[in-house]
């Protein structure tokens, strides 16, 4: 597991030293430092943004609860309170402390509190990861919902529907755009810019001012030198990318597991 960045806060040197000595047994703990009063604790928490703090309650200047009140609520670290006064226990859990160590405590009780903190930190990080994955998936689904699925055309007075994913490649033809499919070629009176904006980037890539290709129909890619590539498409079509789209092509080659490339 990753390291848990930890800060020890207590006005008693012996109490700080004991916590630090116990923490040194655990290889997943990184000790960021120690603080002897509330104002020093506030400053170091804001500076280091630790994952976990061991926090005394009664200290000079202001107490442990006041330290937390000085921090932005969305950046609170996990807290294990360490104190000689049990009357603060309920209040400690009111501010969502992970645990409450009542002095004097033994090594086993300390380990139990630390394990509890570790579980909470890992759970929170797992939840953040799941949220990130959810956001990525939601963005993908949004793009899929918003992207074009069918071209609705009129050809010789008839309505013709061309499914987007049946299109091999799209190219500029004078004032039109031509859709190339297994069933023939179809003309659309649109600009390449408007068509590109309506297509899913997960399926289509623009490799030239005059060409957009369907990634799923690329059978081979050959490097031509000078940041240009030949894309082999159905019907023996070969499309050469332009240097002005080299970054788009490079991203496709690096990140999207394209078909075999030849030199």
Q: What is the CA radius of gyration of the chain?
A: 31
What residues pair up with 239 in beta bridges, in sequence order? 231
Cα 35 from Cα 65, distance rounded (Å):
15
Q: Where in the chain is the domain with CATH 3.40.50.2300?
A: 4-141
37 closest CA partner among 64, 7, 71, 15: 64
- Per-residue model confidence (pLDDT) at position 70: 82
- Per-residue model confidence (pLDDT) at position 129: 54
- Per-residue model confidence (pLDDT) at position 96: 58
pTM of the model: 0.49
- Per-residue model confidence (pLDDT) at position 215: 92
**All residues at 6 or more sequence positions from 12 whose CB lies less than 8 Å from its CB, including other chains:** 56
Q: Where in the chain is the domain with CATH 2.40.50.1020?
A: 150-262
Query: 27: buried, middle or exposed (CB in 10 Å: 19+, 13-18, 0-12)?
Result: exposed
Q: 150-262: what fold?
A: OB fold (Dihydrolipoamide Acetyltransferase, E2P) (2.40.50)
CB atoms within 10 A of CB 245: 19
Residue 136 has, within 13 A of its CA and on its CB side, a CA count of: 6
Domain with residues 4-141, CATH architecture: 3-Layer(aba) Sandwich (3.40)
**All residues at 6 or more sequence positions from 141 whose CB lies less than 8 Å from its CB, including other chains:** none
**ω into 200 cis (within 30 of 0):** no
What residues pair up with 212 in beta bridges, in sequence order? 170, 206
The answer to whether residues 259 and 215 touch, using CB atoms and an 8 Å cutoff, is no
- Per-residue model confidence (pLDDT) at position 145: 47
263 residues of the chain, pLDDT tens digit each: 679 999 999 999 999 999 999 999 999 999 999 999 999 999 999 999 999 999 988 888 888 888 888 887 767 888 898 888 666 555 555 555 788 888 889 999 999 999 988 988 888 765 655 555 555 555 544 554 455 778 888 888 888 888 888 999 999 988 889 999 998 999 988 888 888 888 888 789 999 999 999 999 999 999 999 999 999 999 999 999 999 999 999 988 887 666 666 65
Cα 199 from Cα 205, distance rounded (Å):
9
Cα 101 from Cα 118, distance rounded (Å):
16
């Amino acid at each position: 597991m990753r390291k848990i960045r930890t800060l020890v806060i207590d006005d008693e040197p012996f109490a700080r030293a004991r916590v630090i000595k116990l923490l040194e047994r655990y290889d997943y703990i990184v000790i960021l430092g120690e603080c002897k009063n509330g104002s020093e604790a506030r400053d170091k928490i804001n500076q280091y943004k630790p994952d976990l703090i061991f926090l005394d309650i009664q200290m000079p200047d202001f107490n442990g609860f006041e330290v937390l009140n000085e921090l932005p609520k969305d950046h609170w670290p996990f807290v294990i309170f360490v104190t000689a006064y049990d009357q603060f226990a309920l209040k400690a859990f009111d501010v969502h402390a992970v645990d409450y160590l009542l002095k004097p405590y033994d090594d086993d009780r300390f380990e139990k509190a630390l394990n509890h903190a570790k579980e909470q930190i890992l759970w929170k990080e797992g939840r953040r990861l799941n949220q990130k994955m959810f956001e990525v998936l939601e963005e993908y689904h949004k793009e899929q919902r918003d992207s074009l699925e069918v071209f609705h055309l009129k050809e010789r007075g008839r309505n013709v529907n061309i499914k987007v994913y049946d299109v091999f490649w799209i190219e500029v033809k004078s004032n039109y755009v031509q859709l190339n499919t297994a069933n023939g070629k179809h003309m659309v009176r649109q600009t390449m810019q408007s068509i590109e904006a309506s297509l899913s980037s997960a399926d289509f890539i623009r490799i030239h001012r005059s060409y957009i290709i369907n990634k799923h129909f690329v059978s081979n890619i050959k490097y031509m030198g000078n940041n240009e590539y030949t894309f082999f498409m159905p019907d023996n079509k070969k499309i050469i990318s332009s240097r002005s789209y080299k970054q788009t092509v490079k991203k496709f080659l690096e990140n999207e597991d394209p078909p075999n490339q030849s030199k």
